[in-house]
A and B are shown apart, each in its own frame.
Chain A
């Protein structure tokens, strides 16, 4: 099981700014390990961000997103206390969901 994401959701006026840091190796499948063999590809393929169940962003990623990915977005229609949840699914079929209340 992957480590939890670090998520922050802050309300500025009527805009909610979400910043997230995910724990993931994001292996491209092109890198050689210390044994000289290729490390198999393993990266996040989809990310979905929702606010109280309403989707506010969906992303498709390739292996070129940096290790331990950072993502920030801004959306309208959220208020303090609403739950922002982020779900990622990777190329190995693993997934993780974390949520935070808008502060």
Chain B
């Protein structure tokens, strides 16, 4: 058992985290299997890349082709992936994916959604909505704070990018 898990047992996690600030917080460590999964993913990506490289033509040392270099790199990735699987037990630098990661997923998806909307309805509305969403839903700020800040920020960005820098971004106005 690691020292971290030990302290977590003595005080409830909620109590402990309430006293912590972002400056001294350390995320819980992940176990061996996370590192095995990392290694396997890397090796698989390497394998996929190797198949494409073979398709491109591996060539020879005297006559390198389009697939020579990526082929070498794919081989290296497979080797490194396997090494990580073998040594998975020795790593203590991976963090466990906890429920906190939900916010990250939601944040990334909302950003992608806004970026998909912008070409169709202009950047202003998706940008304001995205900022309000991040501030008030993800960040629990009050709406009377998030709505004006978002509106003003987007207006300032409009001035800088559209009027100042002449960026041809799709827009309403």
Question: Do A and B interact with each other, yes or no?
Answer: no
B interface residues, Cβ below 8 angstroms from A:
none
